[in-house]
Structure 1
């Protein structure tokens, strides 16, 4: 098995990593990245993880039952024995590390943008903190993907490592198979046909996005976050993360819990769209990412969401007088632009 880089090689020491947005160094933590005391991660209070683990080598009826239960109770679960080549996954994460270690002048700095409408960009996410927005200690490369149409590769910039293009072509196809299975099991868990959830995300081409998150070593992980506290707006997310470095946390029963990396496992989480479509049966999980003082951490998140022209609301097939709609119906573009989930998750 290919070994993942979890610490920066000596040719590119951690102290020389430069943010694409301003060229600043990560050698020290600048005040811009420091959260107010009440927003800091309180690392000592993070509980050990107990996330459901689902083995896809089991009989399908058992898998479906476990997926449904985990989606109702946690909104997140591991997938093992999923059939995706571990070397493909590890090589893809390695190519992401190589891209983020490129000097800014080789093009990474030119990709930084705050325009969320751009299909390919490098972006820093922010945590709301009083009257400030504190950037997370990470950079994200986002681009489109598709499980069967390779044309998304044409939009990738020239400085993306060539091996990433070939790896992500295959990775997209294999992860697409997992998405189709998960949507089918979740639909059946609602008492519907396998295609129900995907049909209710619109007849037109759905929105597929990948996000490669790069977390450089942080001088003081107690003071900042890698990614802010959030829920995914998408329908489903499948994540591959560095196996040796913990970072992903979820809120369960009011407490933060670690999602420990498991060898050759994917993490799948429910997003806001599936919570709404299922009328609240499946729960969108609130999560964040921490930093690490010694090691680089990488995660590759694949998202499937409705396109912006889709009308989203509780599926009519599961709504009746005994089960009235718990959420309003809206144009997905409006949700994306205006709501950003405060009405869906008030007070969290």
Structure 2
């Protein structure tokens, strides 16, 4: 099933075991699409752990509302999100800084996680964080950069539930947006689709379920860090069939304290710096306070020409 779905898709597929041979293909995917599907990463994140985590996600999102509300925001939008007027079919729980054992344990405690659920979440958070570091290291190697560390960057995950009914078919599950992160590793629903990414030409490409693979999206911070080379892909979720759709999105956000800016290797007389340096916290507040959803925040951070 996975191989058949991959063969029908035009979204680039990156073999994580085939580097540096895949390096050029990876960079081109970031420039042309702002997203790519990865395969052969199970040495870091086993498929058995992915399936266990999906079962945990389902049970956590079925908890009583009063328990889910204990999942408070650390930064805007990082905690529990109930169905809203804008996204009435969508509900989510969030863990801010999944690289922090203390934050992971606090998240589990607030939700009264069982020992098995806690163990699964701890293992998943550790594995996804390691996978993210592997991806960004491959990205910087592909650009000829080898002295940037992402180890102190904040990671966040969001577990998502879409409640689709026959009456909501053709309605949006989540509105069109870009991610505020550097990159997002998405473990999508195995059976119910709906995710669509916007190509540079403005057309939408459906991202169909493909079990055993992960989708990587690039966000606003990747555009800034790459000095405009990487596309911050716009995407949305549409209701295409009735059912409950579950997904797990893990975000590599940005540095905790250092400023976000393009490395010197990507800036020269032919490629002048496009964006002023800023902190991730400032950028996040700018997006939220102005309700910038599709990358508009970057326009106000461009270096004056």
Tell me whether the two structures share a fold, i.e. TM-score over 0.5: yes
2:129 maps to 1:179 = no
Deviates more, 1:66-75 or 1:330-339: 330-339
Call closer, same or farther: CA 1:169–1:326 in 2, change over 3 Å: same
Unmatched segments (≥5 aa) in structure 2: 1-7, 301-305
Which of 150, 153, 162 is the matching residue for 1:198? 150
Call closer, same or farther: CA 1:73–1:322 in 2, change over 3 Å: same
Runs (4 or more) in structure 1 with deviation over 6 Å come to: none
Encode CA deviations 1:185-215: one digit per residue, 9 max, x unaligned: 111222211x42638xxxxx32111100111
CA distance, structure 1, for counterparts of residue 80 and residue 263 of structure 2? 35
1:248 CA drift (Å): 1.2
Call closer, same or farther: CA 1:250–1:118 in 2, change over 3 Å: closer
Task: Give TM-score, length-normalised by structure 2.
Answer: 0.83
Structure index of larger Rg? 1
CA contact (8 A) 2:29 2:35 kept: yes
- Structure 2 counterpart of 1:271: 219
Call closer, same or farther: CA 1:74–1:125 in 2, change over 3 Å: farther
Secondary structure of residue in 2 paired with 1:313: coil
Deviates more, 1:230-239 or 1:300-309: 300-309
Secondary structure of residue in 1 paired with 2:180: coil
1:300 CA drift (Å): 0.5
Call closer, same or farther: CA 1:220–1:102 in 2, change over 3 Å: same
RMSD: 2.5
Encode CA deviations 1:118-177: one digit per residue, 9 max, x unaligned: 796311487xxxxxx623411110012444x42222212143354332112111222222
CA distance, structure 1, for counterparts of residue 127 and residue 247 of structure 2? 17
2:105 maps to 1:154 = yes
Secondary structure of residue in 1 paired with 2:59: helix
- Structure 1 counterpart of 2:53: 92
- Structure 2 counterpart of 1:40: none
**Number of aligned pairs?**
282
CA contact (8 A) 2:95 2:104 kept: no
- Structure 1 counterpart of 2:27: 68
2:203 maps to 1:250 = no
Which of 296, 312, 333 is the matching residue for 2:244? 296
Secondary structure of residue in 2 paired with 1:196: coil
- Structure 1 counterpart of 2:283: 335
Secondary structure of residue in 1 paired with 2:190: coil
CA distance, structure 2, for counterparts of residue 198 and residue 134 of structure 1? 34
- Structure 1 counterpart of 2:185: 238
1:262 CA drift (Å): 0.9
Secondary structure of residue in 1 paired with 2:75: coil
2:81 maps to 1:81 = no
CA distance, structure 2, for counterparts of residue 265 and residue 166 of structure 1? 23
Task: Give TM-score, length-normalised by structure 1.
Answer: 0.74
Secondary structure of residue in 1 paired with 2:139: helix
CA contact (8 A) 1:122 1:140 kept: yes
